[in-house]
Amino acid sequence: MRSVGTKVLKNELSKYLRYAEQGETILVCDRDRVVAVLSSPPPSMGNTVSDVYLADAIRQGFITPALMPAGPQQPSRKVASLEELLQELALDRRER
């Protein structure tokens, strides 16, 4: 665990970001008072910004995940062909 002042952190930010990426925890201090903690994200958080925002939106209830996985799915029941639908439509119109 390291501690760094805000002025030094501002001047050497990339160096301290590398430390955090390697798993180290950095305490950010302002006049010997801890104001923030810089650390690497947990593995469950995701690697990209969009993954993090998506996970946060799901946690807050703004988005509900799909119940079935994405990909090609077989219909659960037989779907009528276009010809059958057109015949039914024509028959329905004649009856009116």
CATH C-level class of 2-60: alpha beta
CA distance 26 to 19: 8
pTM greater than 0.75 (yes/no)? no
Please check whether residue 46 is in contact with residue 55, taking contact to mean a CB–CB distance below 8 angstroms.
yes
pLDDT at position 1 is 92
Query: What is residue 74's predicted lDDT score, i.e. its pLDDT?
Result: 66
What pLDDT is stored for residue 76 in this prediction?
67
Task: Please name the residue ranges forming H helices in the chain.
Answer: 6-11, 13-21, 49-60, 82-95
pLDDT, residue 95, reads 82
Q: Supply the pLDDT for residue 60.
A: 94
Q: Is 18 exposed, middle or buried (0-12, 13-18, 19+ CB in 10 A)?
A: exposed
Q: What was the pLDDT predicted at 41?
A: 84
Cα-based angle 12, 39, 65 (whole degrees, multiple of 5): 130
Instruction: Give domain limits for the chain.
Output: 2-60
Q: List the chain residues with pLDDT less than 50.
A: none
